[in-house]
Structure 1
Amino acid sequence: MVVSYHYVAFGEGWDGPQAQLFPVIFRPSAYGWLGVELFFMISGFVICMSCWGRTVADFFTSRVIRLFPAYWLGVLATTAVVTLVPGGLEPHAWREVLVNLTMLQWPLGVEHVDGVYWTLWAELRFYLLFALVVWRGLTYRRVITFCCVWATVALLAKGYGSGPLSDLVMAQYCWFFIAGLAFFLIHRFGPNLLLWGIVGLSFAMGQHTAMQTWRRSLHYVGHNIPGGGVAVLITVFFAVMAGVSLGWFHRIDWRWLPAAGALTYPLYLLHESIGWEVFHHLQYKVDRWLLLGGTVAGMLLLAHLVHRLVERPVSRRLKRGLSAAFAQVRAADTDDGRRPGEPAPPFGDTGRPASDPVTPPLETTAAAPRT
């Protein structure tokens, strides 16, 4: 959905109105930005599922190895293409690229190397908030409490126009994360009125906030796309997630699904700016339909190579390194920083030799004479 939106409806990459270049697929592609809302809902479901029974260290490690290897490659590859191919997008300064490699460019006011990276900052904020629950240990009650507190704070922040707080709790998009969390609880523990109430609240608020995003999207697509399609797609997303949580699709076990799922993240990271550069330079040399299809196929192949050659090996190394680092931290907390097999230090905190007996306090060695 997001790729079709950026390639066919966003108004970038092609010379001339895209509604005329791709009249058949332009209108459905104009709703493709809603794929982000679906992604946030899936993220709430999957993160809660994968973190159950894990520590904060496990949570941190899993998120780093999942996000950063492909992201680093995406930042560097996009920068290289934009810099080396003249006449297209404006290249970024090397300092901005360095900041982008941290994934923290948004709070620093640095422009994204690729526009789609804004969603990663939303993911990081979700991880930061949810880490508080992971730190205490995930339980049914704590996740429900987290959903209710997050929703309340988001409403207050939005209502009182609190900029920093509203940004932290993502008052615009939190409803899809919260819905995903509630759907996972339904999946794990079964449905009840409280969980369906959280889902219903998220659905109502999500419909409202999605319409705000739809109004902004009209600026990019350049056409008055009916808002009714937004309501329909949001409803479909919630219905599909309800079906997942209730086990309607448990018989679907197609072997190609994990392979396709593995491509989604590198495809998302790489497709936008690189694809636009391809369109800029080849649209007058190649048939537009062939160019569009070939670019999508090329991006899928590139995503596959990134997953096989970058994500897998780098993730394994990062996992080993971070696991060793956290093991060292735990060991330092239990043995005063000594490495395994290292003898005790000759002096303790008091400066006495470790082998010397501790002299009892004076008042316990002899009874004081009574007066």
Structure 2
Amino acid sequence: MTRAFKGYTMAGPRSGNRLAALDGLRLLAALMVVFYHYVALAKPWGHDTGTIFPVTRVAAQYGWLGVEIFFLISGFVICMSVWGRTLGEFAVSRVSRLFPAYWAGILLTTLVIKMWPEVDSFPGLDRVINNLSMLQSGNNSPDVDPVYWTLFVELKFYLIMVAVVWFGVTYRNCLILCGVWTAAAALAPGLNTPLLSAFAMPQYAPFFIAGIVFHLMRRHGQNAVLWALIAVQLVLAQRYIDYRMATSLGKAVATALPGWPARLVIIAGFALVGAIALGAFDRVRWRWLTTAGALTYPLYLIHLNIGMTLIHHFRNRVPAPVLVLSVTVLMLVTAWLIHRVVERPLGKWLRAVMRKGVVDVRRHMAPRRKSARQPEAPVRVPVPAASRTAGSATSDEVERTITLSR
């Protein structure tokens, strides 16, 4: 028997219910980051942007919070996507989703800064090759594009979710993860243990954990325990606002800016994802939002160095507001082309190849498991016919639908 909640059955979402509002929120978060890089930073303009954008610059200085909103959405979506999946299926879905657009972004960014080294220089072939693995941050190698740092944070989140998939994605196991991760993230700074801090990710854990909890609400309904977890994450999310402002804007600028707008943005992000989880936006089914959601990942990958190069090149020829709008539209169009020409066909091919690989691995591993479990012939014990009873097997209902990611 399936349990329905706000038009979302426990056997899976109803046909066509892709949570378009979540796609729209992803687009908004991506545009916040773009707005921040193009308007708040001096690098593409050659000098402080206060004289260029005297009003909008203030709002743009908080656009880095789009990354935190991304992590909040990612917690929700990844928890949704792993439900009912095996470890191999989860790996296939993540690799085929992340790498095609990422490879295209690296190659396109490298080509642009090689031909027009105005805001950055050619990183060198070794760095480009190393970046293709997406693991460059793990071995202290520089990123081809500075925004790629968030991808390594995502990869560590995936590793944490692997543990849940290994033990089984259930309501109980997800709650255990949220509790243990919350404790680790809260205690890691005081314990001064680098390995614990690296994987507990105290700065970003509250957003991932809150996303997971919101999905549990979506799937199983709300209760006081889940809301208590959300409240704890909302409090913990405030701890690093000053640090994030300093690293994003510089200590001098961050000191002069008030912190309350950043806190309001975080509260608004929690409120919107919570409202989506509880079904407040289920009637939003605009198809263009689904397309927009698909563009956010390639847009994020290509917008920084390429967009800044274009702004720097044309900054003295085109009015600043027109230039920012034109470059943003061009980046969206380019992201759509990457999605259609690279991401979809290459992702489909990767999924097919990796699925065959997973099947092959399982086929080769199965005889070993069987032989290890059956070292000798089993002993048969006769059972009286009167003691035999008919039984039936039960199985958990699983969801096979992946929505957006990142």
TM-score (structure 2 length as normaliser): 0.81
The offset of 1:162, in angstroms, is 1.5
Q: State the partner residue of 1:317.
A: 349
Matched, 1:262 2:294: yes
The offset of 1:287, in angstroms, is 1.8
Q: Residue deviations 1:145-196, cap 9 Å, x none? A: 0011111112221111212220122111111000000010011111111111
Q: Which runs of 5+ in 2 are unaligned?
A: 1-31, 377-406
Matched, 1:199 2:240: no
Asked if the contact 2:148–2:301 (Cα under 8 Å) also holds between the matched residues in 1, the reply is yes
Q: State the partner residue of 2:125.
A: 94
Q: State the partner residue of 1:233.
A: 265
Asked if the contact 2:241–2:259 (Cα under 8 Å) also holds between the matched residues in 1, the reply is no
Q: Residue deviations 1:245-286, cap 9 Å, x none? A: 111111111111101001100000000000111112111122
- Once the two structures are superposed, the pairs formed by residues 7-22 of structure 1 within 5 Å of their partners are 7-22=38-53
SS of the equivalent of 2:335 reads: helix
Matched, 1:124 2:155: yes
User: 1: distance between equivalents of 2:209 and 2:259?
Assistant: 23
Matched, 1:277 2:309: yes
Asked if the contact 2:130–2:136 (Cα under 8 Å) also holds between the matched residues in 1, the reply is yes
The alignment-based identity, stated in percent, is: 43
- Number of aligned residue pairs: give it: 340
Task: Tell me the amino acid that sits aligned with residue 254 of structure 1.
Answer: W
The structure-2 alpha-carbon separation of the partners of 1:189 and 1:69, relative to structure 1 and needing over 3 Å to count, comes to same
User: 2: distance between equivalents of 1:311 and 1:221?
Assistant: 41
The structure-2 alpha-carbon separation of the partners of 1:239 and 1:86, relative to structure 1 and needing over 3 Å to count, comes to closer
Task: Tell me the amino acid that sits aligned with residue 184 of structure 1.
Answer: H
User: Which residue of 232, 236, 243 maps to 2:275?
Assistant: 243
Asked if the contact 1:10–1:221 (Cα under 8 Å) also holds between the matched residues in 2, the reply is no
Q: Please, what is the CA RMSD of the aligned residues?
A: 1.8
* Shift >4 Å, 4+ stretches: none
User: Which residue of 83, 91, 96 maps to 1:60?
Assistant: 91
SS of the equivalent of 1:208 reads: coil
Moved more, 176-185 or 4-13: 4-13
User: 2: distance between equivalents of 1:261 and 1:209?
Assistant: 28
User: 2: distance between equivalents of 1:193 and 1:117?
Assistant: 37
Asked if the contact 1:30–1:221 (Cα under 8 Å) also holds between the matched residues in 2, the reply is no
Task: Tell me the amino acid that sits aligned with residue 66 of structure 1.
Answer: R
User: 2: distance between equivalents of 1:69 and 1:210?
Assistant: 33
Higher relative contact order (CA 8 A, sep 6+): 2
Q: Residue deviations 1:195-214, cap 9 Å, x none? A: 11110100000012233212
Bigger Rg, structure 1 or 2? 1
Q: State the partner residue of 2:246.
A: 215
User: 1: distance between equivalents of 2:134 and 2:251?
Assistant: 25
The offset of 1:221, in angstroms, is 8.7
The offset of 1:68, in angstroms, is 0.4
User: Which residue of 125, 145, 150 maps to 2:176?
Assistant: 145
The structure-2 alpha-carbon separation of the partners of 1:108 and 1:297, relative to structure 1 and needing over 3 Å to count, comes to same
Q: State the partner residue of 2:206.
A: 175
Q: Residue deviations 1:269-321, cap 9 Å, x none? A: 00000011111211112222221111011101000000000000000000000
Asked if the contact 1:13–1:276 (Cα under 8 Å) also holds between the matched residues in 2, the reply is yes
User: 1: distance between equivalents of 2:249 and 2:360?
Assistant: 52
Asked if the contact 2:246–2:253 (Cα under 8 Å) also holds between the matched residues in 1, the reply is no
User: 2: distance between equivalents of 1:150 and 1:336?
Assistant: 35
Q: State the partner residue of 1:296.
A: 328
Asked if the contact 2:119–2:305 (Cα under 8 Å) also holds between the matched residues in 1, the reply is no
Asked if the contact 2:217–2:278 (Cα under 8 Å) also holds between the matched residues in 1, the reply is yes
Task: Tell me the amino acid that sits aligned with residue 246 of structure 2.
Answer: R
TM-score (structure 1 length as normaliser): 0.88
Q: Which runs of 5+ in 1 are unaligned?
A: 338-347, 350-357, 359-371
The offset of 1:334, in angstroms, is 2.8
User: Which residue of 285, 297, 306 maps to 2:338?
Assistant: 306
The offset of 1:335, in angstroms, is 4.5
SS of the equivalent of 1:306 reads: helix
Q: Residue deviations 1:82-111, cap 9 Å, x none? A: 111144312101111111110011111111
